[in-house]
Structure 1
Amino acid sequence: MKLSSQIKPISYLKSHTAEVVKSITETREPLVITQNGEAKLVVMDVKSFEEQEETMALLKLLAMGNKEIEEGKYRDVEDVFAELDAADER
């Protein structure tokens, strides 16, 4: 796991919660929390989390599209537009 953000022990989070919230909200830098010297969780602001979730959703859609292409489940764009034109003329 690549940890380019701040790293603090869980005791720091417990004793500096308000500061941590303010810092993360302002900088949008995630904070890695360690327990017994091992990374255990990441604290991030809500906006960054939501952006990450949107990115993951788009990546899933792309992966699904690639899988469908590999399985031959696609149509040529010319055929799709021809069908749309025909439907529009009706």
Structure 2
Amino acid sequence: MPTTRPSSDLRNHYNEISEFCHNFDEPVYITKNDQGDLVVMSIERYEKLVGKFELYKLLDEGMKALKKEKVRPFREALADIQKGIPE
């Protein structure tokens, strides 16, 4: 069950909300006039989430390239990368 708090708690209980987000690595849903309004989470949690989205995007691009047969052997790609690395 998600943790839900009224928007007034951001002002009145900020430290408590922050501590919860860091200790439990879970977001807190903030309501305004009994309606969902915001989600608060730790920076670490946010960065993990964004990282997952970036990974999914790259995987999707790879799958599309595979379907279009626009791929090459790994060893060939690695050799090209190593050529660009100064010694």
Q: Deviations over 1:7-52 (max 9, x none)?
A: 1110122211111111211111110001122211110011111111
Aligned length: 78
1:36 corresponds to: 33
Number of the residue aligned with 1:73: 70
CA shift, 1:5, in A, is 2.1
Displacement after TM superposition at 1:82 (Å): 7.2
Task: Report the secondary structure of 1:41's partner residue.
Answer: strand
SS of residue in 1 equivalent to 2:51: helix
**Normalising to structure 2: TM-score of the pair?**
0.75
- Rg larger in structure: 1
Coordinate RMSD, CA, aligned? 2.0
Q: Which contiguous aligned blocks of 4+ residues in structure 1 show a shift greater than 6 angstroms?
A: none
Unaligned stretches of 5+ in structure 1? 85-90
Percent identical among aligned pairs is 29
Question: Measured at CA, do residues 27 and 73 of structure 1 come closer, stay the same or move farther in structure 2, by a change above 3 Å?
Answer: same
- Comparing 66-75 with 46-55, greater Cα deviation is found at 66-75
TM-score (norm 1): 0.72
